[in-house]
């Protein structure tokens, strides 16, 4: 595809080179949409995202259109993508012919994804952002699960939650497919490396007396966290209780606090380090996923399910520590 300005022509020659209305009428409807959206966005990548197609497919179709018309339709002026004179003529003809200034929008199904807050932040967030970069037309409602109560209250197409290692119950309250275990997570106290030299790192529960402890409130009701919760509850000073997962992480990173986090956290944030051996009893949770029984076969739902499986497969070394 050529993006240089065509050579100047005389007025008569230029009019002769303009795409005729008959030629414009022969352009495929899909290619017409590719052309008009690209002209509107002024960016092939954004146009591809809006149309939910690969940028390579979009540009190939536009190159074939230029070859069919034997005209250069787009050009770059600096970093801006614009229409050439011939491209402007074709654009005007297509608009006049089909009134596509207001192209009908193909309604996308609304997909509701409910995810445990920590899993959304640590594991799925980045890949969900990548999905949205590739698909600007998706309709996605992302719900954060921060307690068993919110898990029972939500209604969604795909649900990812944290539960007991041996049972997915309590799970969603609506009809779902059989829950599948995605990963087993071990939890350990963590501290920022910059606040803990190797020689002075706590090696027993008693060594924690001189450290500020920070606790995410949602963890207070987790049965498997009983050793940690008991330690926090007996503190008369040096404890911060938080309802925000992100703020808890920030306090551990920046305030010399010690908090309970999944063991994979040192992979997610290289500035944090776990403190093993403080508790004799393991503290574990299981990541479970289930799909709404009524919408499980929908293509957009399956797209989200495949993304989740792919994300956990790619991070398998985070969990098999």
Q: Which of 104-108, 223-227, 297-301 has the lowest mean pLDDT?
A: 104-108
Least confident window among 1-5, 7-11, 133-137: 7-11
- Tell me what the mean pLDDT of segment 235-254 comes to: 94
Using alpha carbons only, give the angle 24, 30, 36 rounded to the nearest 5 degrees. Answer: 65
Quote the CA–CA distance of 237 and 176 in Å, as a whole number.
44
What pLDDT, on the 0 to 100 scale, is given for residue 313? 95
Region 110-184+285-319: CATH code: 3.40.190.10
Question: For the residues 28-37, what does the mean pLDDT come to?
Answer: 86
What per-residue confidence (pLDDT) applies to 119?
A: 97
The answer to whether 170 and 152 have CB atoms below 8 angstroms apart is yes
pLDDT category, 133, cuts 50, 70, 90?
confident
- Asked if the domains at 110-184+285-319 and 185-283 fall in one CATH topology, the answer is yes
| DSSP reduced 3-state for 281 | coil
11-102 topology per CATH: Arc Repressor Mutant, subunit A (1.10.10)
pLDDT-derived band at 273 (thresholds 50, 70, 90) equals very high
Q: What is the dihedral of CA 50, 53, 55, 57, to 10 degrees?
A: -140
Q: In whole angstroms, give the CA distance from residue 305 to residue 282.
A: 30
d(CA 145, CA 162): 9
The pLDDT of 286-311, averaged and rounded, is: 95
Buried b (16+ CB within 10 A) or exposed e, 130-155: eeeeebeebebeebebbebebbeebe
Q: State the sign of the Cα–Cα–Cα–Cα dihedral 43, 48, 49, 50.
A: positive
Q: Where are the domains of the chain?
A: 11-102, 110-184+285-319, 185-283
CA–CA separation, 72 vs 82, rounded Å? 11
User: Which residue in this structure is represented by tokens 């970069």?
Assistant: 133
pLDDT at 94: 83
Alpha helices in 139-260 (DSSP H): 148-153, 226-233, 245-254
pLDDT at residue 113 is higher than 60: yes
| pLDDT band at 4; cut points 50, 70, 90 | very low
To the nearest 10°, report the CA torsion of 228, 230, 234, 238. 20
CA distance 1 to 73: 9
163: pLDDT confidence band, cut at 50, 70 and 90? very high
pLDDT band at 17 (very low <50, low <70, confident <90, very high): very low
Q: Largest Cα–Cα distance of the chain, in whole Å?
A: 92
Helices (H) and strands (E) in the chain, counts: 14, 11
Please give the pLDDT value at position 105. 59
Q: Using one digit for the tens of pLDDT, what is the confidence trace for 175-218?
A: 999 999 999 999 999 999 988 777 678 888 998 988 999 999 99
In this predicted model, what pLDDT tens digit does every residue of 48-78 receive, in sequence order? 888 878 889 999 999 999 898 888 999 988 7
What is the predicted pLDDT for the residue at 107? 73
What superfamily would CATH give domain 185-283?
Periplasmic binding protein-like II (3.40.190.10)
């Amino acid at each position: 595809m050529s993006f240089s300005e065509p050579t100047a022509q005389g007025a008569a020659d230029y009019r002769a080179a303009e795409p005729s209305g008959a030629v414009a009428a022969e352009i495929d409807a899909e290619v017409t949409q590719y052309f008009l959206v690209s002209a509107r966005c002024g960016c092939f990548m954004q146009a591809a995202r809006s149309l939910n197609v690969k940028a390579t497919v979009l540009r190939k179709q536009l190159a074939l259109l230029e070859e069919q018309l034997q005209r250069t339709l787009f050009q770059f002026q600096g970093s801006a993508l614009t229409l050439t004179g011939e491209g402007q003529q074709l654009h005007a003809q297509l608009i006049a012919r089909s009134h596509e200034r207001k192209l009908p929008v193909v309604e996308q199904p609304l997909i509701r994804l409910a995810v445990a807050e920590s899993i959304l932040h640590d594991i799925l967030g980045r890949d969900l952002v990548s999905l949205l970069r590739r698909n600007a037309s998706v309709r996605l409602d992302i719900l954060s699960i921060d307690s068993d109560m919110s898990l029972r209250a939500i209604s969604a197409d795909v649900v990812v939650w944290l539960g007991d290692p041996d049972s997915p119950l309590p799970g969603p309250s609506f009809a779902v497919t059989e829950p599948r275990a995605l990963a087993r997570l071990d939890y350990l106290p963590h501290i920022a490396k910059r606040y803990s030299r190797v020689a002075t790192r706590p090696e027993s529960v008693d060594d924690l007396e001189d450290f500020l402890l920070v606790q995410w409130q949602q963890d207070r009701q987790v049965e498997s966290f009983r050793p940690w919760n008991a330690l926090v509850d007996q503190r008369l000073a040096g404890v911060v209780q938080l309802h925000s997962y992100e703020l808890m992480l920030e306090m551990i990173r920046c305030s010399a606090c010690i908090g309970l986090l999944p063991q994979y956290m040192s992979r997610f944030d290289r500035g944090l380090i776990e403190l093993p051996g403080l508790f004799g009893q393991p503290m574990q949770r299981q990541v479970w996923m289930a799909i709404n029984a009524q919408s499980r076969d929908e293509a957009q739902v399956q797209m989200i399910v495949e993304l989740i499986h792919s994300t956990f497969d790619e991070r398998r070394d985070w969990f098999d520590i």
